[in-house]
Amino acid sequence: MMAGTVSDPAGRPAAPGSRTARGSPGNSADGPPKVLAESLRLGFGEVEVVHGVDLEIPPGSIVGLVGPNGSGKTTVLRSCYRALRPIGGVVWLGRRDVWKLTARQSAQSIAVVAQDALAEFDFTAAEVAALGRLPHKRGFEREDEHDRELVLTSLDTLGLIHLAHRPFNQMSGGERQRALIARALVQESRVLVLDEPTNHLDIRYQLDVLHHVRSLGMTVIAALHDLNLAAAWCDRVYVIADGAIVAGGMPEQALHPKVIDEVFGVTAHQVPHPVTGRPFLIFERRGYSDAGPPE
Amino acid sequence: MILAVLTVVIATLALTYGQVSVPAGQVWSIIFHHIVPSRAAVSANDTIIWLVRAPRVALGFIVGSALALVGVAIQALVRNPIADPYILGIESGASAAVVIVFYIALVSGTSALPPPIAAFVGSLGTLILVFALARRRGRVASARLLLAGVAVSFALAGITEFFSTLNPNINATQAQQQWTLGSLASAQWSQIPIAFGALVLVYVSLRYYCRALNALAMGDATAAAVGLDPDRFRIRLLVITSLAVAVIVSLAGPIGFVGLVVPHVGRMLFGAEHTRLLPAVALLGGLYLMAVDLLGRVIFAPDEINVGVLTAILGAPFFLWLLRRQRLDG
């Protein structure tokens, strides 16, 4: 196990240099906050499935969480947006403990694109995006000019303005995913949690979605299935297996062939991408190549 | 706007027709006379219009409206447009509880609980039971929900029959009408304030929770993502809807499928977004039940068909049509 290669734990939440303002957390004008998970332990009932995970997501960066199915990626994310209360450990949003905020406060700072959004009801794209206003509005409060404009500009940013009145259920997977990201923008939060944002999307839309995410300048934590997407788009990658972090750091370190072999059981070769120069992985079945590790 | 005009038209028709037909002009002068007491002109039809038909029409509107709103809330609650307070057995639960309380009162000589409170306990209990039966791993599957609702509903209807039969004080046919088939025939002015109170409660609270209803309808993860605690919100919805159903059932008995048909038509006309949907559904529901009750009085006049019978005849095919369109494993 290569635990311990987790990158430097600089910038504890109490550090005086934290850029998060007081008041409404993360809503300040001075940029997105840092997110930090400290020895997170998570589980369902009696069964612990995540055993002491540490993550650091620097302000405005994109951090990828990769790992085999069932490794605990989604579980870790759920604890970051208050859908699953940790058994132990803390999730810091700037200098605040996410689990000491109210659901409403946390939603003002953290937006989520989760996996289960499929409605039996015919909401339009604009109505889905408008849900992002919920944490900012009181019960009888009406939508004002600002709310409506925010919905339109967000849909526009994601290239969906022409589909504003299309039923969400009739949109393609990529369009839906973008509508949900538009909702996150409407939420005016500074942190974005993405759970497999490119799942079931055609390659074109995968790149499209990640391009949009990149351009937002938010602090992003994303569970990704495709290692090469993680290598290409993330500033930092954590590899999780069986509920523990196995490697973390720059994509070239974290997605080192030794890690890939250990976690995914395949032989990988890391080469520079011919255009971007970022690490790119080529896989083969374990033991197939001469260069493969001994069985 | 169109809905409001339609409401007035149907209300007039409902007041006009019946065993004794009264011209529309006279109907409104009688109503007006009662609202503004100084007017003279008391006519022979005053009793029929003011004491018999007007409360019935008013109760019909209120009950229809409240049932339709409850339908909207329950559909968001279980995230399934095919749910309805009648199909899920909630109305039967309220009925059964009332009949049991009547029986206990008969046997012990003292009434344990006032009927509306018994109805509330019955409806809330049934809603929680059906929901718990249908939920597995945090998801409510349509098929399981409907089966659980129907099974519980049958059991409760049996219990209602059983206790009605045991109770000699409840005249068999009357019990049949009141507690197994909803009816508006016994409407009185004295019932209107509590019915209207229930309607206002359910409308205002759902209106307050509009955005939350939107979020919940999109799924628990979505709700959590936009800062709503789905479980807590569900409990509030359970209490509100049970309360409204309890009041309705204790006044008019179980009336089925209004909460299914009306919200569906509302969504087709106005979309799924609750800010727009709620006022529309409130009016449509009132209209629908008023119209159906009018129909029941007119088709086989001078005989009457209970409004609950007609809503079932109209609603069940609609339900089946929806069922055909939906994937049940979802």
Determine the residue of chain A that is closest to B80 in CA distance: A120
- Residue B271: its chain A contacts at CB < 8 A? 122-124, 127
Look at chain A and report how many structural domains it folds into.
1
Q: What structural domains and CATH numbers belong to chain B?
A: 61-325 (1.10.3470.10)
Angle between helices B90-108 and B230-252 (to 10 degrees): 60
Residue A230 in tokens:
């993680």
Per-residue pLDDT tens over the stretch A184-224: 889 988 899 999 888 877 888 888 888 888 888 899 999 99
- Residue A120: its chain B contacts at CB < 8 A? 79-81, 217, 326, 330
Residue B14 in contact with residue B60, Cβ under 8 Å?
yes
* Structural domain boundaries enclosing A186: 35-285
The answer to whether the pTM exceeds 0.95 is no
CB-based contact, B227 to chain A, within 8 Å? yes
Per-residue pLDDT tens over the stretch B98-148: 888 877 777 777 666 777 788 888 889 998 898 888 887 666 676 788 888
Question: Is residue B19's pLDDT more than 70?
Answer: no
Q: Is residue A188 part of a domain?
A: yes
Q: Is residue A122 part of a domain?
A: yes
Max Cα–Cα distance, chain B, nearest Å: 66
Q: Is residue A281 part of a domain?
A: yes
Residue A114 in contact with residue A184, Cβ under 8 Å?
no
SS (H, E, C) B201-245: HHHHHHHHCHHHHHHHHCCHHHHHHCCCCHHHHHHHHHHHHHHHH
| A259 Cα to chain B: minimum distance (Å) | 32
Q: Is residue A13 part of a domain?
A: no
CB-based contact, B276 to chain A, within 8 Å? no
| B225 Cα to chain A: minimum distance (Å) | 5
Chain B, 42-101: which have a CB under 8 Å from a chain A CB?
Answer: 75, 79-81
- Report ipTM for this prediction: 0.77
Q: Is residue A260 part of a domain?
A: yes
Instruction: Indicate yes or no: CB of B208 within 8 angstroms of CB of A104.
Output: no
Instruction: Indicate yes or no: CB of B226 within 8 angstroms of CB of A134.
Output: yes
Q: Is residue A11 part of a domain?
A: no
Q: What is the DSSP code string of B3-18? A: HHHHHHHHHHHHHH-S
Give the pLDDT mean for A124-146.
86
Distance CA A153, CA A158 (A): 9
Question: Which residues touch B319 (CB under 8 Å, ≥6 apart)?
Answer: B82, B84, B87, B257, B260
| B266 Cα to chain A: minimum distance (Å) | 12
- Residue A107: its chain B contacts at CB < 8 A? 225-228
- In the structure, what pLDDT confidence band is assigned to residue A76 with cuts at 50, 70 and 90? very high
Instruction: Indicate yes or no: CB of A116 within 8 angstroms of CB of B228.
Output: no
The single residue listed with the structure tokens 């197994």 is B180
**Whole-number average pLDDT of chain B:** 81
Q: Is residue A15 part of a domain?
A: no
CATH number assigned to the domain comprising residue A76: 3.40.50.300
What percentage of chain B reaches a pLDDT higher than 70? 81
**Whole-number average pLDDT of chain A:** 82
Q: Is residue A83 part of a domain?
A: yes
Q: Which of A81, A83, A121 sits opposite B272 (nearest CB)?
A: A121
Instruction: Indicate yes or no: CB of A114 within 8 angstroms of CB of B211.
Output: no
